[in-house]
A and B are shown apart, each in its own frame.
Chain A
Amino acid sequence: MTTTTSTPSATTMPGAGAVAARRGGLYAAARLPRGTAWATLAASWLVTGGLFGILDAAGASDGFNLVGTIFFGTVLFDVAIWSLALLVEGRRRALDRLVTSLVSTAFVIALLPLVSLVATVLQNGLARFDTAYFTESMRNVIGAGGGGLHAIVGTLEITGMATLISVPVGLLASIYLVEYGRGALARGITFFVDVMMGIPSIVAGLFAFALFALATGNPGIRSGFVGAVSLSVLMIPVVVRSSEEILRLVPNELREASLALGVPKWLTVLKIVLPTSIAGLVTGVMLAIARVIGETAPLLIVAGFTASMNYDLFSDRMMTLPVFVYTQYTQAAGLHAQAAVDRAWAGALTLIIIVMVLNLAGRVIARIFAPRYGR
């Protein structure tokens, strides 16, 4: 007696019936073994890796192309898993697998540039990521050596001042929109905030420059503060938008509970609405900072560039990290070109690390202040 029989008479026998039941009987369907998807993915990467390896060995490409391997391997995987499933599992499951793998491919495509970028910056930036870089400016440096301390200080000061200007203005504007704003004024503010979101950063720089040049009568004005003002033109709409979304998430019941206790509206906003949403507000501000900390164009116009330390926001040119990267890269020429390029990469790495640290700090702050739900 074989156990794989499927004739109707066999099902009447207890032994055969039990086997059929264990295998799913009427509802049994062919399935690819567990782990097939992962094995197929690995195989696809190996295949494309092999192809790129041959290209590299033949001298057709400049080094092994890892990004290409992963990208084309993932695309190959989509086709392979779909065909396999179509052969074994049938149309419905094949479609399911295809869509699942396409979604995963989209994820990989989104992640590849990021990982590739971080890897490249790390690779090139570590060459000059040393003590001298964090303790010296570029004053009187020709050729190798020097550092980006003046740019780090400038970036921190200008971004800090921009945050100091933007957060109160942006937060108060969003509180107005959510808690008080009605009618034409609120609609107008929303509209202009949307318009401001789309302002090219160079225009923000020119605006700040024109404003201060006219106000001071000095057509050659350069200072860190003007840079901070131009950055806050870019930052305010981001803060307004993100805080507005967060404040709208605060349940109306909490506002009503507070008002019904005889608490005036402004205290309700200050002591109920803001504390409840503080985590989201902090995250929004962090995102806004990350948005402006890498701005180059407006700072190139209004903060200028310098090789020396300048701690004073209100006078003279001030270096910032993005502008530092730009000047080092454009001035890389001659005998010491590599030294300048290395400094540029180290500047880029520093900027990424600053943004990352800010984001981590934001998360910690958000977790500390988050409302305590549940047990």
Chain B
Amino acid sequence: MSKRIEVTDLDVYYSRFLAVQNVSLTIEPRTVTAFIGPSGCGKSTLLRTLNRMHEVVPGARVEGRVLIDGDDLYAPDVDPVLVRRQVGMVFQRPNPFPTMSIRENVLAGVRLNNRRMPRADADDLVERSLASANLWNEVKDRLNLPGSSLSGGQQQRLCIARAVAVAPDVLLMDEPCSALDPISTLAIEDLIEELKQQYTIVIVTHNMQQASRVSDRTAFFNISGAGTPGTLIEYDDTATIFSRPSVQATEDYVSGKFG
């Protein structure tokens, strides 16, 4: 199910402002790739270009190519809605739908698209999705309570279950643990390790320990100053990035000299 992502010469603009410049990288299937770098360097922006979510912001556009298993996401005949069904996303702050129960939240991707599903299939999907997000045992007795009644860490896992339920090929995570305590973070990191068996995962994080714990490959981004575009400095195996990076800036960043 998982797919390879190839980014070639990508420039991302917000209106006239060039936010990310000239990024090229290849993300292998069934791996976890971490994007690290200081705030404002374009990690989240780049992540959002991978499922065309960045164009939700008025004036945002892209030059360059993003291929998923050879299909160009930015070809003129591509429907962004279909892209987003294949490339799921988990956001920084847990955002379950407040009008829906836990069960309805998991089924949201299916139900909101007006797809009908027999009750047995729906029950099965809810259980599978919640189980793969390590949440099933905690919520199986209260599936009809509102999603917002859960704790922050549980809400975030509910959001992951919701993303997994539409069976995407790729899962993008934009600082999924930054609003969570260490215990919930650990639960999510374990979850990422399991999800890796099925999905291609890209995670943006500010936590370098987290990047070194969960990812196979790490990309380091940097900006030379405020108002200048973010660029990809180095992209390599996580072990290499954290032990003997080839660029001085990377070493300074991962060793805590700046950022």
Residue numbers of A with Cβ under 8 A of B are: 182, 251, 253-264, 267-268, 271-272, 275-276, 371-375
List 20 A–B pairs whose Cβ atoms lie within 8 Å, in order of A's numbering. Answer: A251-B95, A253-B93, A256-B91, A256-B95, A257-B91, A257-B162, A258-B108, A261-B85, A261-B88, A261-B109, A261-B112, A262-B85, A262-B113, A263-B109, A264-B113, A272-B97, A272-B112, A275-B99, A372-B148, A373-B146
Asked if B58 is at the interface of the complex by the 8 Å CB criterion, the answer is yes
Q: What are the residues of chain A within 8 A of B111 when measuring CB–CB?
A: 271
Contact count band on B: 20 to 34
Q: What are the residues of chain B within 8 A of A255 when measuring CB–CB?
A: 56
| Most central of A253, A371, A372, A373 by chain B CB within 10 Å | A372
Q: Complex: how many Å from CA A372 to CA B51?
A: 30
Can you list the 5 inter-chain pairs with the closest CB atoms, starting with the nearest? A262-B85, A371-B98, A260-B89, A372-B146, A261-B109
Cβ-defined contact, A276 with B99, below 8 A: yes
Q: What are the residues of chain B within 8 A of A260 when measuring CB–CB?
A: 51, 53, 84, 88-89, 91, 163
Q: What are the residues of chain B within 8 A of A261 when measuring CB–CB?
A: 84-85, 88, 108-109, 112, 162-163, 166
Closest-by-CB residue of B relative to A260 is B89
Looking at the complex, which one of B95, B146, B149 makes contact with A254 (CB distance below 8 Å)?
Answer: B95
Q: Complex: how many Å from CA A267 to CA B98?
A: 16
Asked if B81 is at the interface of the complex by the 8 Å CB criterion, the answer is yes
Cβ-defined contact, B99 with A371, below 8 A: yes
Q: Complex: how many Å from CA A375 to CA B84?
A: 32
Q: Complex: how many Å from CA A256 to CA B95?
A: 9
Residue numbers of B with Cβ under 8 A of A are: 51, 53, 56, 58, 81-86, 88-89, 91, 93, 95, 97-99, 108-109, 111-114, 145-146, 148-149, 159, 162-163, 166
Tell me the minimal C-beta distance from A179 to chain B in angstroms: 11
- With A264-B81, A372-B146, A374-B148 known as contacts, the answer to whether A259 contacts B56 (CB < 8 A) is yes
Q: Complex: how many Å from CA A373 to CA B56?
A: 27
Q: What are the residues of chain A within 8 A of B93 when measuring CB–CB?
A: 253
Q: What are the residues of chain A within 8 A of B95 when measuring CB–CB?
A: 251, 253-254, 256-257
Looking at the complex, which one of A267, A372, A373, A374 makes contact with B112 (CB distance below 8 Å)?
Answer: A267
Q: Complex: how many Å from CA A331 to CA B234?
A: 89
Q: Complex: how many Å from CA A220 to CA B108?
A: 56
Q: What are the residues of chain A within 8 A of B112 when measuring CB–CB?
A: 258, 261, 263, 267-268, 271-272
Looking at the complex, which one of A253, A264, A373 makes contact with B91 (CB distance below 8 Å)?
Answer: A253
Closest-by-CB residue of A relative to B86 is A262
Q: Complex: how many Å from CA A356 to CA B97?
A: 33
Cβ-defined contact, A254 with B97, below 8 A: yes
Closest-by-CB residue of B relative to A251 is B95
Looking at the complex, which one of A182, A257, A374 makes contact with B97 (CB distance below 8 Å)?
Answer: A257
Q: Complex: how many Å from CA A264 to CA B85?
A: 10
Q: What are the residues of chain B within 8 A of A257 when measuring CB–CB?
A: 91, 95, 97, 159, 162
Cβ-defined contact, B113 with A263, below 8 A: yes
